[in-house]
Amino acid sequence: MESLQKAIAAISPLSDEGMSAFSQGWKHWSTTKDFVLLKENTISDYIYFIEKGVARIYYYKNGREITEWIALDGQFFLSITSFFQRTPSYLTIQTIEPSHVYGIHHDDLMKLAGEHHEIERLLRKMVTASLILSQERMDSIQFESAQQRYEKLLKTSPQIVQRVPLTYIASFLGITLETLSRIRSQR
């Protein structure tokens, strides 16, 4: 809980009252390896925060798994489209290590955002940060070579490379497993 509160405060500081109201909204899960938090085709009700562990978000495209996101200790994650549009998710979310995960339900969060201006602001800032990331990632996929993307990942999240199977990393980088393997071998 403390790490969650710290992560929240780092995005947008809350008053004691706001923080305490907000903190009460979160549930907690202790998961095993390959525990499914969200199943494909269901509406995603939660924004998650991973206190310790690794989660991956993936979907199927042309019959194969595409990892859309990998979240490590201290990060928020969610199925953006499903959560905000309240539509069935094409995404599946699972923890790929035993993990500690917090989650806040959509309805609770919206209620809190309606009641507390500062929580609305926090949410706005979270979405904005996510948008900036999304833009950067798009630029990366469009203009950087497979090699450059891998090296950037090595630099920015070396932990991912250590803790996550290469199959997942490959599709996360938007390349095939074989291409990733070749990139790694020539170093």
The residue from 135, 148, 159, 181 that contacts a second copy (CB under 8 A) is: 135
In the complex, least distance from residue 7 CB atom to a second copy, rounded to whole angstroms: 19
- Give the shortest CB-168-to-DNA separation in angstroms: 7
Strands 54-61 and 64-72: antiparallel
Per CB under 7 A, does 178 bind DNA? yes
Which contiguous run of DSSP H or E holds residue 95? strand 92-95
What does the buried/exposed string (b/e) look like for 93-128 if buried means 16 or more CB atoms within 10 Å of the residue's CB? Answer: bbbbbebbbbbbebebbeebbeebebbebbbeebee
Is there binding between residue 175 and DNA (CB under 7 A)?
yes
* CB 55 within 8 Å of CB 99: yes
Residue (26 or 83) nearer to a second copy, CB: 83
The residues, ordered by sequence, that sit 6+ positions from 14 with a Cβ below 8 Å of its Cβ are 8, 22, 118, 119, 122
Q: Return d(Cα 7, Cα 10) in angstroms, integer.
A: 5
Binding characters for DNA, 122-161, by CB under 7 A (x = yes): -----------------------xxx--------------
**In the complex, what is the shortest distance from the CB of residue 181 to DNA, in angstroms, rounded to a whole number?**
3
Q: What distance separates the 2 farthest-apart alpha carbons in the chain?
A: 56
Beta bridge partners of 47: 104
87 binds, among DNA, a second copy, none (CB under 5 to 8 A by kind): none
Q: Which is nearer to DNA, 110 or 166 (CB)?
A: 166
Q: Chain-centre distance of CA 2, in angstroms?
A: 19
Smallest distance, DNA to C-beta of residue 94, A: 13
Residues that bind a second copy (CB under 8 A): 61-62, 80-81, 84-85, 113-114, 117, 120-121, 123-124, 127-128, 130-132, 134-138, 141-143, 174
Residues that bind DNA (CB under 7 A): 62, 145-147, 165-167, 174-182, 184-185
